[in-house]
Amino acid sequence: AVPVLLAAIVCVDVVYRQQYSTLPVFLADHGHSTAFYGWLIAVNGGVILCLELPAAHALRARAPLGIIGAGLLLVAAGYALLIPGAGAGFAVLMMVSLTLGEILYKTPATAYVADQAPAHAQGRFQSLYAGASISGQVLAPPLGGALYAIAPALLWPACAVLACLAGCAVLAARRLPGSPAPVPAARRPDAETGSPVRPRSG
């Protein structure tokens, strides 16, 4: 399941990071000010500040791939909200959905990769995850910018479809051999990663 997750992270990070590249251009093209975009970014930080730790605590005993997959689907839903229009309400709802998705997928995905790594390959697995995430950061501006320049109306549908496919792939990976099952609520989270202690897969 780890290769599936890494591929999904590359795809969804290309989508997620459009908020820092094409989203401000899109909002400006539809009459929104720079101050409005700044408030949207503040919504992102505020939701994370208020909900990330409570969510991690509440979901610590859940199967990680299910949480991650749900997060990717929320990212898809967020950008789908921009398809009907660029109104302020749509933009705020988009940012809330995007941020909830970020909370559900970013930290659990990092912990999941660490938990699946053999003891002698922890650094390699974390490097693979970091490389997948950074690839999205590198690819997002040129790919999103090129699509927006050629066909602006296709950008958000394409983002929503790509993130949705990534989420469905992660959810399907739960059925792959070696994928961990949900952890009983009585089990304590791992002291280092903060994620549930799970048996290593072979």
- pLDDT level of residue 185 (50, 70, 90 thresholds): very low
Q: How far is CA 176 from CA 56, 133, 201, in A?
A: 24, 23, 11
**Measured distance CA(151)–CA(89) in Å, rounded:** 24
* 34-43 confidence digits (pLDDT tens): 999 999 999 9
User: Which is more confident, 162 or 178?
Assistant: 162
Distance CA 26, CA 87 (A): 11
Contact 169, 175 (CB under 8 A): no
Close Cβ partners of 177 (under 8 Å, ≥ 6 residues apart): 201
pLDDT value, residue 19: 93
Convert the pLDDT of each residue in 138-170 to its tens digit: 999 999 999 999 999 999 999 999 999 999 999
Q: Are 74 and 97 in contact (CB under 8 A)?
A: yes
Contact 99, 46 (CB under 8 A): no
Q: What is the pLDDT of residue 179?
A: 61
Residue 183 confidence (pLDDT) above 60: no
Domain edges within the chain:
2-175
**SS3 at position 83:** coil
pLDDT at 176: 74
pTM for this prediction: 0.83
Q: Which architecture does CATH list for 2-175?
A: Up-down Bundle (1.20)
